[in-house]
Amino acid sequence: MHKEFISGDLPVLALRGLVVFPEQTLHFDIGRVKSALALEEAMHHNQQLLLVPQKSIVDDDPGFGGLYPVGTVVHVKQILKSQDNNIRVLVTGICRARITNILQSDPYMSATVARAEDVTTAENLHTRALRREAKGAYGAYMELAERPAQTVQLRMIASEDTGFVADTIAQNSGIDYPDKAKLLCQFNPVKRLENTLRLLQQEMQMLQLENEIQEKTRAYLDQEQRDYYLREQMKVIREELGEGDEAEEFEEYTRSILALHLAKDTEEKLLKDVARLKKQHFGSAEASVLRNYLDTVLELPWHKTTKERVQVDAARKILEKDHYGLEKVKERILETIAVRQVAPEMPPQILCLVGPPGVGKTSIAYSIAHCLNRKLARISLGGVRDEADIRGHRKTYVGAMPGRIISGIIQAGSMNPVLLLDEIDKMGADHRGDPAAALLEVLDGEQNKAYRDHFLEVPVDLRNVMFITTANTLDTIPRPLLDRMEIIQLSSYTDEEKLMIAKNHLIPKQRSKHGLSRSQLRFADDGIREIITCYTKESGVRNLERSITEICRKTAMQITSSQENVRNVVRGSNVESLLGVRKYLPDRIPAKDQVGLVTGLAWTSVGGETLSVEVNVMDGTGKLELTGNLGDVMKESAHAALSYIRANAGKLGISADFYKTKDIHVHFPEGAVPKDGPSAGIAVCSAMVSALTGVSVRSDVAMTGEISIRGRVLPIGGLKEKTMAAHRQGIRTVIIPKDNERDLQEIDQTVRSALNFVTAETIETVLETALNRKATLTPAMLPELPGDAKNKAHKPGIRQ
**300 touches 406 (CB < 8 A):** yes
Q: 679 an active-site residue?
A: yes
Q: Strand order in 351-354's β-sheet?
A: 376-380, 418-422, 466-471, 351-354, 486-489
What is each CA distance from 741 to 700, 724, 758, in whole angstroms?
A: 20, 16, 9
Give the three-state DSSP class for 245: coil
Name the burial class of residue 485, with classes exposed (0-12), middle (13-18) and buried (19+) by CB atoms within 10 angstroms of its CB. Answer: buried
- The answer to whether 762 touches 681, Cβ cutoff 8 Å, is no
In the beta sheet, which residues pair with residue 10?
A: 111
Exactly one of 547, 612, 679, 696 is catalytic; which is it? 679
Dihedral angle sign, alpha carbons of residues 528, 532, 535, 539: positive
Half-sphere exposure of 725 (CA within 13 A, CB side): 28
Nearest to 766 by CA among 689, 693, 662: 689
* Full DSSP string of 636-659: HHHHHHHHHHHHTHHHHT--TTHH
**3-state SS of 27-39?**
EEEECCHHHHHHH
In the DSSP assignment, the letter for residue 503 is: I
Q: How many CB atoms lie within 10 A of CB 304?
A: 12
Q: Are 72 and 93 in contact (CB under 8 A)?
A: yes
- List, in sequence order, every beta strand (DSSP E) within 373-422: 376-380, 418-422
Q: Is 173 a catalytic residue?
A: no
Q: Which amino acid is at 703?
A: M
Residues linked to residue 428 through DSSP beta bridges, in sequence order: none
Phi, psi of 759 (to 5 degrees): -95, 135
**Alpha carbon distance 184, 167 (integer Å):** 8
Distances from the Cα of 631 to the Cα of 201, 675, 776, angstroms? 94, 6, 36
Taking residue 76's Cβ as centre, other Cβ atoms within 10 Å add up to 16
In angstroms, the CA 115 to CA 531 distance is 81
Identity of the residue numbered 43: M
> What residues are annotated to the active site?
679, 722
